[in-house]
Amino acid sequence: MKCTIGIDLGSTTTKAVVLDEEGLVLGRGITNSRSNYDVACEVARTEALLDARFHLFERTVGDDPDLREKAGPFIEALRRNFQREQHLQQIGELEELCRAHARDTSKGVQRALDGIFEGLRTESEDLFGPGRKPRSDFFRDIAGSRYMALAEWWARKQEVPYETLYGLFDKSIIAVESRPPSTGLQESMAQALGRTLGEWKTEEELTQRLKSGVEQAILTNLTEVRTVGTGYGRARLPFPRECIRSEILCHGMGAHATFPETRTVLDIGGQDTKAIQIDENGIVERFQMNDRCAAGCGRYLGYIADEMNVGLHELGPMAMKAKRPVRINSTCTVFAGAELRDRLAAGQRREDILGGLHRSIMLRAMSLLARSGGIFEQFTFTGGVAKNEAAVAALKELVEENYGERTMNISASSIYTGALGAAIFALREARGERTPEPQTTGGAQ
Amino acid sequence: MNAPVKKNVVKEPSMLRQKEMIAQHFRDLARAKEQGKKVVYTFVPGNLTELMLSFDCLPLHPEINALQSGMRKLSGEYIAEAERAGHSEDVCTYVKCDIGMMLKGNIGPTGEKLPEPDLLLLSYTGCFTFMKWFELLRERYKCPTAMLHVPYQGEGHFTEEQVQYVVDQLRSEIIPKFEKVTGQAFDIDRLRDLLGNSARAEEDLVYVLESAKKRPSPIDAYFGGVYYIGPLFTAFRGTPAATEYYRMLREEVDARAAAGQGPITPDGLLDEERFRLVVEGPPNWTHFREFWKMFADEGAVVVASTYTKVGGTYDRGFRHNPERPLESLAEYCLGCYTNLNMPTRVDMLTNYVKDYEADGFLINSIKSCNSFSAGQLVMMRQVEKRTGKPGGFIETDLVDPRYFSASNVKNRLESFFQMLAQKGQEVPA
């Protein structure tokens, strides 16, 4: 099967989207961006292609009337078990690295590590248990917050410094994230399939049909006919410059593909905030981006999460509990830590501070939107920050205050908007349709 | 990452001629005191060069020194020096660069020490900061000051009364001040001769700027344009050297146009004109060549710019006139771009987009220049509306290297160029 791929190399995360020949989304993949862009691209692409196989399987079983009903829960279980396999594999890698870094430490530290990793493995049973879904896509977030909690407990028990245990994680996690995709995907899938079939109570004949559907999806030959890259790091994308598009165009196109009535797009990513106006064909009419300063972008929230020692995904839910949001004017990422400590010292609730921070970020976005021409019907919000419920709530409120009622679209896969747009450009080029001329500079040097 | 800028920079013969002229001027400035010449500090917009030359004065332009320092990568150091002396981060960076240079010994762009002023001559043409700048210099040099108040063009045109108001000041304030400082009597015939030379050079400059209406344009009217305006906007207007420079430039541009060639960039002749742009706002000087390359690499040619009108809007028909010497100096000052109201600026931009058949227009908004930047987004929307062409917006600074983020600017520009390409092709969904 022929497919095209779009890759959005952002400052924080790298996303990939695979489209089939009809332009339907076949798979999505996401990973943390790192200094090694090639690895980030490869990880995201591999994940997307893997995800594509789940979709292929869905399509296969969707055609079989006997399986159609059972397929949904089965695929969900299979995905969950596959994620568990990947998670366990990464825990294994993390442990290996932590132990290598801890070679010269005390017995207490070694014992604490025993406890931490045993805890992480045990917890993964529950974390990926039936009906459960981890709150983040990233190993760093999922394992990190649990590692810290376990480390705190074990540090006390073994009477070793918590900082030592924290330091071991800190030294090791980047290497775990930067490892090229494991070669054992097939094995992980086989393990996940075995576990899913074990959980699955159904007649043998149907089980066999589900199993063969999975195998068929795994064996389908996916031929990548064209890849287009975009995003902050696009000049470093490891493919030819003629396959590179600006993220403005890609976000505009991606938002149009997801919500065809879109006229205004707001994208808040790691370092960029973009306000884009598009026409009825997804063609960009004008745009504004933050210049010189990334205050109020996704990295700001990441920094706040680090300062508060919580996972990024926990910020939104905490901010939603704000009763009297604090008014915060500065969204300078560098000042954020001081501002936060100052507020906490003044006795203000974390939830109220976070509520205020989310609103102040959105105030900056509103200014950019105003500069780009305003908010027109319909309005689509994309990027990693669109996954944050408190950010969305603050934006909704401000949009209504300033522009009245507007339809605000947020796709569950909003973070993939840029990659989707890139994949659409790739598909159009593959079909030989007229698309913007490729840029002539900025390619990998 | 941006490719390193090539070492072997290609220059037009006229550029080399200009370089010689500037070098000679700075040599003259360095020897001014020993040769008994009076030095007048003044600014480009509304400069009264012919009048100064008629009194044998040597003009010196602090903002030109600042931009030269920017191009020579010295401005960061000078700005830091000025900030140490108490000037805020948000102040116009031309001012801080100049003050910093002064504090560090006033060594000019050619490495020679600059003379102190015998007179500070301020033609007030819309930039409030210029006035404050000279206040600071007056404080330091304790020298005579002359201020010509030029009424702002709030209505979009000037009146006879306004012209008379400026002429009266020239007669009663400025000329007597020159006579006092130089000890020479005002010679109106000398002024007429100089103004006659100016008019000839102005004719050629306009010819060169309007050559950009051709396809491909033989010039870049922004990055190349800042060189083309050099002699006429600074110390040379009215001199035979300037007239000769423009004659030479005109021939050069004609030859390129006849050969169907595009502009010369630092990397050589531009092969393909992919985008025709109109640009509003001054360029960034600290990364001038890198900035230009971001355009040239994409085949983007600036066919008209407003910055090249800060020292006179000659393409709107104005010429210095020997028959009406003081009146034409007054009208010149009144018509400088910095002295024009927003509707007039919008008109100019709109006309440029139409007359030069531009694909789009771009605003380079300068962080530390409120005089230029205030209202630019509003202007952009109006020009978009009136021309139907897309506008782009980037932010840099004049000479503060801290405010030029190459990757951000490049990112915006690439997005803008791709948007132009996309709009030019309109792919149905």
| Best mutation target, A234, A265, A277, A284, to test chain B (most B CBs within 10 A) | A284
| Best mutation target, A279, A283, A285, A293, to test chain B (most B CBs within 10 A) | A283
Residues 268-327 of A with CB under 8 A from B: 280-289, 291-292
Output the six-digit token pair for A293. Answer: 């300063």
Helix (H) or strand (E) holding A67: helix A65-101
Residues 355-374 of A with CB under 8 A from B: 371, 373
For residue B387, give how far its alpha carbon lies from the nearest alpha carbon of chain A (Å): 13
Output the six-digit token pair for A418. Answer: 């840029």
The answer to whether the Cβ–Cβ distance between A286 and B428 falls below 8 Å is: no
Residues 328-367 of B with CB under 8 A from A: 367
DSSP category for residue A267: E
Q: Please say whether the beta carbons of B367 and B181 come within 8 A.
A: no
Nearest CB neighbour to B3, from listed A283, A289, A445:
A445
Please report, as a single letter, which amino acid is at residue B19: K
Which chain B residues have a beta carbon less than 8 Å from that of A442? 410, 414
The per-residue pLDDT for B47 is: 96
Output the six-digit token pair for A123. Answer: 């917890």
The per-residue pLDDT for B15 is: 87
Class of domain A260-410: alpha beta
- Is the Cα dihedral B333, B339, B344, B349 positive or negative? positive
Q: What angle do CA B386, B209, B374 make, to 5 degrees?
A: 45
The per-residue pLDDT for A438 is: 39
ipTM of this complex: 0.75
Q: Any residues with CB less than 8 A from the CB of A43 and at least 6 apart, and which? A: A14, A29, A31, A180, A181
Q: Any residues with CB less than 8 A from the CB of A47 and at least 6 apart, and which? A: A16, A27, A28, A29, A30, A31, A181
- Strand locations in A154-258 (E): 223-230
Q: Are strands B268-269 and B275-280 parallel, antiparallel or unpaired?
A: unpaired
Specify which residues B365 forms β-bridges with: B395
The per-residue pLDDT for A441 is: 32
Nearest to B427 by CA among A227, A244, A281, A242: A281
Q: How many CB atoms lie within 10 A of CB A159?
A: 9
Q: Please say whether the beta carbons of A45 and A27 come within 8 A.
A: no
Nearest CB neighbour to A439, from listed B384, B394, B418:
B418
Strands of the A25-32 sheet, one edge to the other: A25-32, A13-19, A2-9, A223-230
DSSP category for residue A401: H
The per-residue pLDDT for B1 is: 39
Q: Which residues of chain B have pLDDT under 50?
A: 1-6, 426-429
Which chain A residues have a beta carbon less than 8 Å from that of B412? 289, 291
Q: Which residues of chain A have pLDDT under 50?
A: 436-445
Which chain B residues have a beta carbon less than 8 Å from that of A276? none
The answer to whether the Cβ–Cβ distance between B414 and A439 falls below 8 Å is: yes
The answer to whether the Cβ–Cβ distance between A256 and B405 falls below 8 Å is: no
The answer to whether the Cβ–Cβ distance between A436 and B418 falls below 8 Å is: yes
Q: Does A54 touch chain B (CB under 8 A)?
A: no
Q: Please say whether the beta carbons of A222 and A49 come within 8 A.
A: yes
Nearest CA in chain A to B429: A281
Q: Please say whether the beta carbons of A213 and A236 come within 8 A.
A: no
Nearest CA in chain B to A252: B419
Nearest CB neighbour to A281, from listed B403, B410, B427:
B427
Rounded to whole angstroms, the Cα distance separating A98 from A6 reads: 35
Which chain A residues have a beta carbon less than 8 Å from that of B429? 256, 260, 280-282
Which chain B residues have a beta carbon less than 8 Å from that of A440? 297-299
Rounded to whole angstroms, the Cα distance separating B29 from B109 reads: 12
Which chain A residues have a beta carbon less than 8 Å from that of B417? 439
Which chain A residues have a beta carbon less than 8 Å from that of B391? 286
For residue B359, give how far its alpha carbon lies from the nearest alpha carbon of chain A (Å): 13
Nearest CA in chain B to A433: B427
The per-residue pLDDT for B101 is: 95
Please report, as a single letter, which amino acid is at residue B97: C
